[in-house]
Structure 1
């Protein structure tokens, strides 16, 4: 099995992960990358029936100002865990790239079905209990206005404005624009240079920025495994392939959203940010997309890419033309006889 950075979980860590999901004695596991492996560096036992009472005493002492880490924190049920990805701004660039590129791997090794929530932070206060609560509040905040709602409001305002004329101008809403975090900016640059052929992006709903959730170099056959479609994601992929006997390269942008299960706020934000994100990638980074796709519950496979980039030509069969019916013949008109 290939991984985003080639980094895999050690056997000891796999054993700890199995204990987490089968026993009732572990509240928290801290994971770091050491010697090109994911290793368990600490565990905290369950001491009470309240996860909120244990959160800060378990999490805060294990956070270091300049060192990235992952944590899995158990809520009160065995199958409900919080995945914490902590990458401080002061960490080295190598740490940021490693931890960003391995985030999906460690989550998968633990068992994605056991992860109930994700918390991503670049500062200690963002991953404490108060930071977690703020993240939850932001996810439950009122939704932004849709384009349709903004248009209705503008129409009502125009109807109620006695001074409106043909020269009146108003600002239209063209979508939300969230900034790209530092890791993603660097990864987009590497994608542009050709050292990466796949980027996976997500929106931090609490921090309102777009971050890199995965990156790497994959064949089209591997995409179905590494590009999830069970949640909202943005994907960029450079598809190098042969078509009609010629080598060709096509860059595609894919927005995936499940048919059900995703929160309404996430649906609205991802939909609203898609256009401005594409504009930034094509404008600021000069990335030319051959196709921008939006799919729902559709795996990003090689067959899917080929059908979208090179849609099959439908040959129109020529309709059979019936011969024209002969005209009706009336009684023959003979010249009148003349008597000589």
Structure 2
């Protein structure tokens, strides 16, 4: 889900100033009048990243969302991290706007400049202890996949090519910032390559590490979907549906199903909503899947076999019967010019409309007869 919000010229200028000022620690970004605009800059009090996190305290509010760009790796080309801070007490519309625009922010400013994106909902996560816990969790994650290593090399090459230029590189905006595990990517590829085996792949988001992971693979039929897809957590599901093609032969089509139960946590809702398009792009480009239908539902119970089957039924075209051209004149009636001294009036019934002629006295007599 994309919000349509873009970076303002003021934000681009402020970020370029941050790039040109190695000692500046960071920059706050807000959404104002449907644009990303710069907030206060964060000047360092020391050369230590963790010590400078105390500088965020006056800028982080209990009920106001914000983006925080921080310089963490000063000697690297991708020296920044982008923090999306969305407290639970922020207004609902603000939550959705910031969640759906978080990837747009780094794309507008240049994804090659950012090594990591972080989603936070509490002030504690933005302290030194909070960052250390985050780092420890990331260290426990699996090493980079081959696709991620390739993407990293591309980003570094693009960064070297564009170094010294303040112009953003729009051609990399299609990259998905959230990493995907080897198991998840492997399951998607197998779904597209294999003629048999499991036909349902469910992916989930690891909220703490913001990573796409494999939830499960299984064999399912249309009636099974409402029970095998999780009813307690959001899911990105890819289902290979076997059906009859228009030429009478059997065919298998990939359906993308996004479910987000009403009991899901706010942070889960925002992460899944903002990652939906990225997951589809990864499946289509990375795993070479051809997705023919996209379905969204609050709960798996809404996935009825009838409604899905209806999407694959060939459209029956009904030929319109030939209509004989009507005669000229209103309602197809032939209008005869009355003689001098006569008047014309229109008599109507349920079946037809016609013009009748006669004298005024004849018309009055007929009207009385009707009454």
TM range (shorter): 0.3 to 0.5
Structure with bigger helix share is: 2
Larger radius of gyration: 2
TM-score (ref. length: structure 1): 0.48
